[in-house]
């Protein structure tokens, strides 16, 4: 008896081998797409949108590339997700995590073809991941006891993170900027207090770190240009609520003097509102919405600096760093929390005038001003710097540090290989495959630099059989180098996140044996 079809007409399903095949192919294709961006000599991708304006993004940040892709393959979506989570969680390693997951699946595909059950592969991968993590734990360095050593660790980590990005030419300069900014946070991972402003013009070297907060606005006409001991009221309120809206209201009058009366009443209402605001005892008023000429005049007469139309991100951050709250009603001044800072003045950056708040309540606040040739360069510089700031703020919390340059992968691969030799049964094949996937990362780093990867990785493996070896790939000289001398370090937290996320994602995709695509919802004809 034939079974009736249970799915709708347009729904499709793929079972067993075909489903697994589709998953492997999708995941490996995504890996091949981003793997050329890995390492200090990785290349960039141009992403062009087909939407309005045809925006162009030039980047080699794995998460940014993958976020911008619209993909149908479900397994590829899993990899894009782990890359996003890696970006949110630790900021760096977004490409490595996808590449490692893809390599694990590439190895798994061979094992499945050799008739090893996916569950056996998964349990082997689990054992291998645990073993690899323990291998790293035994080799971490922790310098939190000595402030000087820890700072040099942070500098090395920042330089390693930046060396694969657009800022690699001035990496010492930007690493210094990033470390200074993160040290000001005193251990908090809230990067809201670090503001990044991008101003086209000049070169990347003209970027600088400024204590305090910079608002991208000009000071209005006739307003005080400099205020000391500022009391700031941050508001989100419409200053024209009391005007008779022209479109919605019809007013019939029998003489022109009545129109003048209406206008007078409107002005009076506006004046009242301004006086309520001034009654808070402030000398700076920042509004999210427009302030209009008449109220601005009143504020100028009272010696209050009025800044209108500050962007929302700007006023949220301003309220945060000056210790104020955003107000929208002004009837009871005692319940409104004002912001404070020592000095407000106008500064010039390039051609633009901006407002600078220094000596803010939240001492750790600072602003990094990026200069550069074009918007594309600035966007990419901001992404690179953001990655470095994320990694550093995580490292300040978890101070364990590893060497970089393919060293951690070789250490893990060596331990995992030992485990494979001791493990009986089919699992040993999976554990061995895990070790091969780990070695793929140094191989890709060498390939991207145009070096002979087979030769280099063989040299590396031989070097790692000596105890306490610090060998990794030195991309600049194209040989095996000592990572301790070269100062190439990475954060343990990033490496651990890459290892665990990639293993879990590969596991998840391996478990799949059926893909069901549901039918699209039919639109009813409304005719």
Q: What are the catalytic residues?
A: 61, 94-95, 387
Measured between alpha carbons, how far is 338 from 345 in angstroms, rounded to an integer? 19
Q: Strand pairing of 284-287 and 226-235? A: parallel
194-200 and 226-235 beta bridge pairing: unpaired
Find, among 257, 366, 276, 264, the residue nearest to 321 by Cα. 366
Q: What tokens does 410 get?
A: 């070789």
Q: Which among 201, 194, 215 has a CA at the least distance from the CA of 375?
A: 201
**E strand residue ranges, 418-478:** 471-474
Q: Over 267-284, what HEC string results?
A: HHHHHHHHHHHHCCCCCE
Phi then psi for 335, rounded to 5 degrees? -90, -5
Q: Are 39 and 442 in contact (CB under 8 A)?
A: no
Residue 341 bridge partners (DSSP): 230, 360
* Close Cβ partners of 97 (under 8 Å, ≥ 6 residues apart): 62, 82, 83, 86, 497, 498, 501, 502, 505
Rg of the Cα trace of the chain?
Answer: 30
Per DSSP (E only), the strands in 352-428 are 352-360, 366-372, 400-403
SS3 state of residue 118: helix
Q: Is 403 helix (H, G, I), strand (E, B) or coil?
A: strand
The total of other beta-carbon atoms located within 10 Å of residue 395's CB is: 25
Which two tokens mark 467? Answer: 């105890």
């Amino acid at each position: 008896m034939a079974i009736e079809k249970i799915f709708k007409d347009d729904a499709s399903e793929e079972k067993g081998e075909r489903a697994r095949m589709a998953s492997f192919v999708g995941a490996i294709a995504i890996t091949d797409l981003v793997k050329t961006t890995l390492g200090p000599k990785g290349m960039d991708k141009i992403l062009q949108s087909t939407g309005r304006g045809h925006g162009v993004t030039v980047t080699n940040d794995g998460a940014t590339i993958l976020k911008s892709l619209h993909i149908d393959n479900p397994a590829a979506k899993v990899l894009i997700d782990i890359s996003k989570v890696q970006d949110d969680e630790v900021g760096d390693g977004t490409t490595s995590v996808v590449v490692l997951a893809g390599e694990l699946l590439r190895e798994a595909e061979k094992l499945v073809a050799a008739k090893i059950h996916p569950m056996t592969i998964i349990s082997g991968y689990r054992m291998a991941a645990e073993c690899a993590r323990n291998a790293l734990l035994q080799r971490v360095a922790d310098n939190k006891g000595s402030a000087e050593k820890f700072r040099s660790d942070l500098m090395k980590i920042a330089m390693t993170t930046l060396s694969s990005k657009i800022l690699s030419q001035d990496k010492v300069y930007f690493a210094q900027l990033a470390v200074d900014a993160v040290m000001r946070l005193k251990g908090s991972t809230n990067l809201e207090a670090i503001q990044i402003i991008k101003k086209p013009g000049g070169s990347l070297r003209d970027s600088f770190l400024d204590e305090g907060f910079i608002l991208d606005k000009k000071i209005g006409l006739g307003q005080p240009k400099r205020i000391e001991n500022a009391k700031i009221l941050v508001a989100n309120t419409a200053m024209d609520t009391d005007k008779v809206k022209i479109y919605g209201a019809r007013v019939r009058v029998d003489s022109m003097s009545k129109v003048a009366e209406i206008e007078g009443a409107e002005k009076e209402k506006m004046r009242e509102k301004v006086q309520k605001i001034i009654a808070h005892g402030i000398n700076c008023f920042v509004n999210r919405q427009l302030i209009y000429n008449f109220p601005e005049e009143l504020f100028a007469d009272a010696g209050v600096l009025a800044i209108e139309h500050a962007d929302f991100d700007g006023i949220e951050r301003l309220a945060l760093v000056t210790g104020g709250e955003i107000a929208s009603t002004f009837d009871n001044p005692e319940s409104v929390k004002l912001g404070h800072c020592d000095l407000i003045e106008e500064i010039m950056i390039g051609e633009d005038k901006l407002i600078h708040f220094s000596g803010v309540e939240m001492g750790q606040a600072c602003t990094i001003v990026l200069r550069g040739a074009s918007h594309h360069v600035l966007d990419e510089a901001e992404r690179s710097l953001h990655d470095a700031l994320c990694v550093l703020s995580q490292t300040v919390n978890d101070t364990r540090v590893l060497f970089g340059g393919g060293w951690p992968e070789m250490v893990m691969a060596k331990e995992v290989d030992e485990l494979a030799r001791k493990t009986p049964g089919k699992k040993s094949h999976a554990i061995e495959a895990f070790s091969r996937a780990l070695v793929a990362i140094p191989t890709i780093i060498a390939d991207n630099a145009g070096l002979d990867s087979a030769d280099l990785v063989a040299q590396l493996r031989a070097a790692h059989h000596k105890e306490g070896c610090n060998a990794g790939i030195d991309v600049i000289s194209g040989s095996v180098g000592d990572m301790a001398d070269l100062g190439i370090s990475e954060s343990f937290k990033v490496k651990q996140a890459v290892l665990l996320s990639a293993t879990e994602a590969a596991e998840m995709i391996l478990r799949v044996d059926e893909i069901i695509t549901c039918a699209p919802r039919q639109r009813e004809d409304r005719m």
